[in-house]
Amino acid sequence: MTHNSNFDNIPSLGVGQILARSFSIYFDNFLAILTLCMIPALLSTAPIAMLQTGTSTDGDIISGFSVLLSVIGNFLAIGMVVQLTYDKFSGRHNTLGAYFSNAFRVLIKLVLFGILVSILAGIGTVFLVLPGLYIAAMFYVVSPVILMEPGVSPLARSLALTKSYRWPLVGLMIVVFIISIISTSVISGGLNVLFVSTAGPSIFLMTVSQTLANAIFYGFGGVVAALVYARLRELKEGLGIEDMANVFE
């Protein structure tokens, strides 16, 4: 007896290939990506620095504000890095200011949907971790959709694109999270040790190291999101990644 499943005919997302291409793009354009992500990364670290310096003494408010700014910074960074990623594949050359300008035009939309997705994923995580991750996978390409397809509903479009690929996306998110945590911890820890040994304890230097670590985390996540979106459109609509950059012409 032969068992037929709808999943048998579904092409693979290609998580391994996405990761390999992400590393290649990321390291080939490391300085440009890091520069793009520094301002968004600073959004999440500045409130904590205020708390440490005594500028503000309300820890709960500052911590909550930091989380909110972290979400905003993350989605702004993704918006910029997505454009850079597609440009590199298409051979286009653009300025960092152009990437910022394009992302800034849809900043409110990026922030609002970023906060909404974070809340939905957070609610799922409260009950169990996997439901939260699954919800995050459902809306994984919301940011690229906002940039690339401004006339459609980001949530509905992301739901349609990620259908049949959400569990592979959950696995991808776990791998990206582990890679990012290890790399940012090593970099932030190493810089902190270096700063303390050379200049003594300094809140300013600690903030710089944490901002760099966050920028690295945001940048890599942005590249992965761009490639996932392109891969899903390739699988479902036959578009190549080189076609993505034409949106900004």
Q: What ranges do the domains of the chain cover? A: 14-248
Report, as an integer, the average pLDDT of 81-92.
Answer: 86
Q: What pLDDT is stored for residue 51 in this prediction?
A: 54
Is the predicted pLDDT of residue 196 greater than 70, yes or no? no
Q: What pLDDT is stored for residue 1 in this prediction?
A: 44
Q: What pLDDT is stored for residue 2 in this prediction?
A: 47
Under the banding of pLDDT at 50, 70 and 90, the label for residue 88 is confident
Is the predicted pLDDT of residue 45 greater than 80, yes or no? no
Report, as an integer, the average pLDDT of 185-211.
Answer: 69
For the stretch 143-169, pLDDT in tens is 999 999 988 999 999 999 999 999 999
Q: What pLDDT is stored for residue 84 in this prediction?
A: 93
Relative orientation angle of helices 129-138 and 166-199, to the nearest 10 degrees: 100
Is the predicted pLDDT of residue 12 greater than 70, yes or no? yes
Is the predicted pLDDT of residue 77 greater than 80, yes or no? yes
Top-confidence residue, 39 or 247: 39
